[in-house]
């Protein structure tokens, strides 16, 4: 491993420094992430929210995690129903992001776009690259958020050949072409 020097004191922030939280937020903006629409249905009413804090946990059993703010309406919906669907959005679905990111536009959700219903009752976005139906296996409280661990019970590919929607540095992006290395 080639070393290029040590981090100097102006580059390092102490863990006790109040600016660490601000620096963390600013630098996490540089982390490109897929944009997902998390959905579930409670008492016949669909709910949904946009999330980028979604990741694979394991293949055996197939498990995803989703981080949800405890103040978000989806927190109670997932907790009560015990299921959810992770819809990985395509670049064509960017219009849904504004609707599902605003509590003021809650009544507009599910009024546009095409929707199907998963076996677990969750809405599946027809504009999704892929959708993962999940059964809630565990919830971990972590300060302002809950980490929901869901075992994947079904996978569908509504738009398998579309380009994914990405979020980085407060803007949406998409991949024009995938390249392979190696």
pLDDT digits (tens, 9 = 90+) for 11-26: 555 555 567 888 888 8
Using CA atoms, how far apart are residues 111 and 58, in angstroms rounded to an integer? 34
- Which one, of 120, 36, 37, lies nearest residue 81 by Cα? 120
**Sheet with 165-168: strands ordered across:** 33-34, 165-168, 171-174
Nearest CA to 147 among 70, 59, 85, 42? 70
Average pLDDT in the 103-112 region? 90
Is pLDDT at 7 greater than 60 in this prediction?
Answer: no
* The pLDDT value given to residue 67: 98
* Residue 167 scores a pLDDT above 80: yes
- Identify the pLDDT of residue 181: 65
The fraction of the chain above a pLDDT of 90, given in percent, is: 66
pLDDT at 174 over 90: no
pLDDT at 160: 79
Q: What phi, psi does 106 have (nearest 5°)? A: -55, -40
> Mean of the pLDDT values across residues 48-77?
97
Pick the CATH number of 35-168 from 2.30.110.10, 2.60.120.560, 1.10.3470.10, 2.40.50.100: 2.30.110.10
Q: Is pLDDT of 182 > 90?
A: no
Q: What is the pLDDT of residues 131-141, one digit of tens each?
A: 999 999 999 99
Distances from the Cα of 152 to the Cα of 20, 33, 38, 77, 86, angstroms: 35, 20, 13, 18, 10
Q: Bridge-partner residues for 132, per DSSP?
A: 86, 155
Do residues 161 and 152 touch, judged by C-beta distance below 8 A? no
- Measured CA to CA, the distance from residue 75 to residue 169 in angstroms comes to 26
pLDDT for the residue 83: 97
Q: What is the pLDDT of residue 148?
A: 98
The predicted model scores a pTM of 0.86
Shortest CA distance to 83 belongs to which of 37, 38, 35?
A: 38
What is the predicted pLDDT for the residue at 77? 97
Task: Indicate whether 180 pLDDT > 90.
Answer: no
What integer pLDDT is reported at residue 141 of this predicted model? Answer: 97
Q: Which of 6-10, 32-36, 95-99, 146-150 shows the lowest per-residue confidence on average (mean pLDDT)? A: 6-10
């Amino acid at each position: 491993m080639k070393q290029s020097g040590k981090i100097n004191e102006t580059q390092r922030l102490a863990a006790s420094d109040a600016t660490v939280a601000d620096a963390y937020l600013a630098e996490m903006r540089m982390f490109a992430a897929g944009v997902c629409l998390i959905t579930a249905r409670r008492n016949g009413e669909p709910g949904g929210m946009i999330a980028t804090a979604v990741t694979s946990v394991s293949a055996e059993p197939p498990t995803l995690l989703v981080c949800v703010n405890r103040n978000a309406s989806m927190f109670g919906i997932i907790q009560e129903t015990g299921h959810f669907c992770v819809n990985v959005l395509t670049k064509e679905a960017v219009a849904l992001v504004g609707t599902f990111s605003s509590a003021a536009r809650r009544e507009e959700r599910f009024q546009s776009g095409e929707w199907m219903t998963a076996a677990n009752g969750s809405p599946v976005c027809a504009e999704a690259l892929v959708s993962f139906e999940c059964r809630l296996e565990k919830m971990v409280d972590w300060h302002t958020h809950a980490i929901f661990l869901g075992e994947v019970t079904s996978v569908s590919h509504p738009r398998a050949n579309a380009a994914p929607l990405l979020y980085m540095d407060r803007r949406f992006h998409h991949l024009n072409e995938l390249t392979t290395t190696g």
